[in-house]
Amino acid sequence: MSKQIKLKKGFDIRLVGKAEKKIGDFQPVKTFAIKPTDFIGMQRPKVLVKEGDLVKAGTPILFDKKMEKVQYVAPVSGEIVEIKRGEKRKLLEIKILADSEIEFENFEKFTEGDVQAASREKIVDHLTATGVWPQLIQRPYGVVADPEDEPKAIFISGFDTHPLAPDYDFLLKGQANFFQTGIQALQKLTKGKIYLGLPGDHKSEVLSNTPGTEINYFSGPHPSGNVGVQIHHIAPISKGEVVWTIHPYGVVQIGKLLSNGIYDASKLIAITGSEIKTPLYAQTYTGSCVDSFVAGNTQSEKIRVISGNVLTGEKINRDGYIGFYQHQITIIPEGDYYEFLGWMKPTTEKLSYHKALGLLSFLFPKKEYALDSNARGEERAFVQTGVFESVTPMDIYPVYLLKAIMAEDFDEMEELGIYEVIEEDLALCEFVDVSKHPVQEIVRKGIELIQYS
């Protein structure tokens, strides 16, 4: 039975530059890249191609030696032009110079009856061999799901509350049939339920009528759209349990694979941020170079390009590549300057969660802000203020959890909820932290301590 869950804790970061629901006319993207660093937990990637090789969309290009069954494939057809490595030969990127017309590897097609009749083993084998399996993420740990596991449930968040997040109805417009086919395949992967979280304030045009799912409605400020928050309020994870999560785009991609027999990595991404002249959506493929969307489209030259959103995204170069799981790039001013008494000087142009001296944003709850990347301070003593709990709509104590991680106290970490969170669930704590701690880095450290202990 559906639940209506109203969350009061959290905070909406209101920024200038939300993408208008139109697809822009951008220059064609020439190069694409798969970045192993996008796949948390991948430790031993094995490259299957070499520079100069020709590939099609769906051609396997690497796998993780720890989970050899799962193939990572080319998003487009073209030539492998660079295999980029960093220190100690760490694999950073595999770049592809795309063909003007995309060619696809041909895979087996499934009718609706074929999906319903197929065994779990057949569905797993098909999804792992064709490149769509990495869309499935395991909780705890936030890593690519292990096909040998069987989750107690699968969770899908049907909306995003991060700053300037794309509109899912626009991203998925006209793809409801593929989404339903993907749901049918996911039903083969678990004996439990498939939970779909939707916003409580409006009806989703694409996702609201989805047989085979239990729909629950969430309202409230960010992070109400985080799948981790939704899991916590519907079916919390205990030690020893495994659930999987997947983005609605991943469900659609599975549906396209089964229906059309191809690995279709086409996607819409939102080009957002205060430094973009015209925030719009772009039609592209996974791993596209962002240069085509940024060049000549910014208000100034001193900018920061983020693959994703300002809370959880990754800083990239202007000619960098959008992350595998991202559907947004954000362009904000670079905050490479010192501001004397910046937090004390009275202003209404800076957004703050705190009602601090000089920061008057609380007087204008609906105003949108053009913020830069300046942290306005550096790491200092860990001050316990209670503010972390006020932005975390979960029954955990973030400060104590973070201190347990820093002390490497395994028992305390487990008791305080390390199995229920990944970085994005506590990202707001980093934003409101007066002590300027790298909260998300600390959370990942704790997860890895538990995972590999």
Boundaries of every domain in the chain: 1-29+109-335, 31-98, 387-451
Residues whose CB is less than 8 angstroms from the CB of residue 290 and which lie 6 or more positions away in sequence, other chains included: 305, 307, 316, 318, 319, 320, 321, 322, 329
Question: Which residues in the chain land under pLDDT 50?
Answer: 357-358
Q: Tell me the fold of 31-98.
A: OB fold (Dihydrolipoamide Acetyltransferase, E2P) (2.40.50)
Pair of tokens at residue 182? 């993907």
Pair of tokens at residue 95? 């770049």
AA letter at 108: E
AA letter at 387: V
pLDDT of residue 131: 97
CA distances from 217 to 60, 95, 179, 292, 406 (A): 38, 40, 19, 37, 35
68 membership: H or E segment, kind and range: strand 67-73
Q: How far apart are CA 416 and CA 402, in angstroms?
A: 9
Q: How far apart are CA 416 and CA 408, in angstroms?
A: 13
98 membership: H or E segment, kind and range: strand 91-98
Q: How far apart are CA 36 and CA 1, in angstroms?
A: 39
Exposed, middle or buried, 301 (CB in 10 Å: 0-12/13-18/19+)?
Answer: exposed
Burial track 2-19 (b if 16+ CB lie within 10 A, e otherwise): eeebebebbbbbbbbbbb
Q: How far apart are CA 165 and CA 224, in angstroms?
A: 13
